[in-house]
Amino acid sequence: MVSIVKTISNLSNEIKRNANKKNAISHYVNEHKHVPLWVLVNYLTFGELNYFYSVCTDKIKRVIASDFSLKYKRNYKTEIKIQPQSIETLNILVNYFRNSVAHDEITYNKLILKTKKFRLIKQDLKLNDFIVNSQSGVFELIVALKLVLSKKEYYDFVKQLYKLFDKYEPCFQSVSFAAILHDMHFPKNYRAILKVK
C-alpha cells in the first residue's frame, strides 16, 4: 500500500511542477481540471514509469501485455503472447543499462546476474532454441526491445548496429572483434536471431 501512495504522490508532484509552465499538463489542469495519464506519462522519468508499472494491478499489466502482443502481430504478422512479466523484465533491463550509460560506466560488457525471467522473453519471442544464456547483457536487451518497438524502429535500430559493427570491426587489433561480441553476450548466430522477418 505504501508504494501505491508513494506513486500517487510522485504523479501529483509532477503535475504540480508542470502546472504553471506552458505545456500539455498546464493545459489540462487549467482547461479540464485533470490530467489524463496518457499526457502525464510523457513527463515521467523512465524510473518513475517503471515504478508506476510495478504497482499496477495484474489486470492492468495483462491489458498492457495484450496491447503489445497485438502491436507485435500487426507489425510482424506473427502471433505471440507477451507476458506481463516479460514487460517488467524489459523495463528492468532498459533501466539498468540506461542508468549505467547515464553514470558513464563501461556498459558494453555489463551483465545482470539475476534475470531468470529473461527466459520468458525468449519464450514469448520463440527463441528458446537460439539463446541459451542465463545472464542478461547488451544482446539480451536488444532482443527484448523487439517486444515493444515497431518493426520499422527495430529494423532501423539493428541496421544501425550492423553499420557500427562493420565500421569499427577493422579498428580492433589488440583484441578480436569476436571477443568483444562475446563480452557483449552476442552469440555467433546473432544476425539470424536479430533478423527482422
- pLDDT 10s digits, 121-150: 888 998 876 666 657 889 989 999 999 999
Quickly state the pLDDT bin for 187 (edges 50, 70, 90): confident
Report if residue 40 sits inside a domain: yes
In this prediction, residue 2 carries a pLDDT of 47
Assign 52 a pLDDT band (cuts: 50, 70, 90).
confident
Residue 136 three-state SS: strand
Neighbour-count burial for 70-99, b at 16+ CB within 10 Å, e otherwise: ebbeebbeeebebbbebbbbbbbbbbbbee
pLDDT for 84 equals 94
Domain membership of residue 51 (yes or no) is no
Mean pLDDT of the chain: 88
Query: Are 38 and 63 in a shared domain?
Result: no
Cα–Cα distance for residue pair 52/39, rounded to 1 Å: 14
* Cα 132 from Cα 119, distance rounded (Å): 9
If residue 157 lies in a helix (H) or strand (E), which one and from where to where? helix 151-168
Average pLDDT over residues 33-53: 87
Q: Count how many domains the chain has.
A: 2
Structural domain containing residue 6 = 1-45
**Residues in a beta bridge with 112:** 136
C-alpha cell at 9: 504522490
Residues 93 and 127 in one domain: yes
